[in-house]
Amino acid sequence: MLKRVLTAVIGIPFVILLMALGNPILGIVGCIVALIGVHEFYQVIEKKYKPITWIGYIVLIVFFVAYEWIMRHFGIFISGTLMILLIAMVVTYPKHNIVDIALTLFAPLYVGLLISFIIMIRGAEYGDFLVWLVFISAWGSDTCAYFTGMLCGKHKLAPVLSPKKTVEGAVGGAIGAAVIAWIYTWIYTQFAYPMMEEKMIFIMGIVFVSAILSQFGDLAASAIKRTLDVKDFGYIFPGHGGVLDRFDSILFVAPFIAITLEFVAGLKMIA
């Protein structure tokens, strides 16, 4: 527990600084974090499979370097990547088969694509305010769920995947995150974007739903780890595990918030 607290004490100011700086610094750090996450994933699956890791790393780096163009032409990017991977399979078969190729592509999509939505939100209008809804939904709900579950958790949420998670904890986490979002919005609007106070119910609603989705992000990562018979993806964060262990819920939350802001709130995510 002490390691978790110390990691949070060191990590939170860094995240605050990073979000304040925004792009391109955020994009560079995001790429580095994603590379570490993809590396963790490859290391874990290499116990059973043989992904072509160097192609995965190149795909991820190109994705972040040409991010805006790729997001506008994603079909072209993904089609080209698939062709390269399938050619690599033909050239290297039987060393690498279709499962290896699928996992090679899955890693940069699962980690890089999903985590990049943080960069997208930060770069949008009101992004300096909106990006924190991602962290409130994921990490805020996680903290609230932990204490709610510890105090009154009785019914198991997903006993096979995560025996310690409870329904009460999940509900408490979502409600707690919504309350944190209300406090955050009220404080923020005293200094900037006063019009956001009028959107309070909408913001709390987004965070509430996102907090529920964050549980699925966490459980999806648990399912992957159980399939591969590992406890954690890595050890870079003492007490928290690896990048994927710390960001698994964010990988579900960030895309949902970006999609909701674009198609419901009408904010343009990519110029």
Question: pLDDT, tens digit, for every residue of 80-123?
Answer: 999 999 999 999 999 999 999 999 999 999 999 999 999 999 99
Helix, strand, or coil (residue 158): strand
Point out which residues pair with 237 in neighbouring strands.
241
Other Cβ atoms less than 10 A from the Cβ of 268: the count is 9
Write down the pLDDT at residue 7. 62
Helix, strand, or coil (residue 87): helix
Write down the pLDDT at residue 56. 96
What DSSP line would sit under 89-120, residue for residue? Answer: HHHHTTSS-HHHHHHHHHHIIIIIIHHHHHHH
Write down the pLDDT at residue 6. 61
Residue burial 123-157, b: 16+ Cβ < 10 Å; e: rest = bbebbbbbbbbbbbbbbbbbebbbebbeeebeeeb
Q: Which residues of the chain have pLDDT under 70?
A: 1-11, 238-240, 270-271
Write down the pLDDT at residue 241. 77
Q: Where are the domains of the chain?
A: 2-263
Burial of 267 (0-12, 13-18, 19+ CB in 10 A): middle
Check if the beta carbon of residue 234 is closer than 8 Å to that of residue 240: no
State what percent of residues in the chain have pLDDT above 70.
94
Write down the pLDDT at residue 16. 78
pTM more than 0.75: yes
Which of these, 179, 214, 209, 202, lies nearest to 264 by C-alpha position?
A: 202
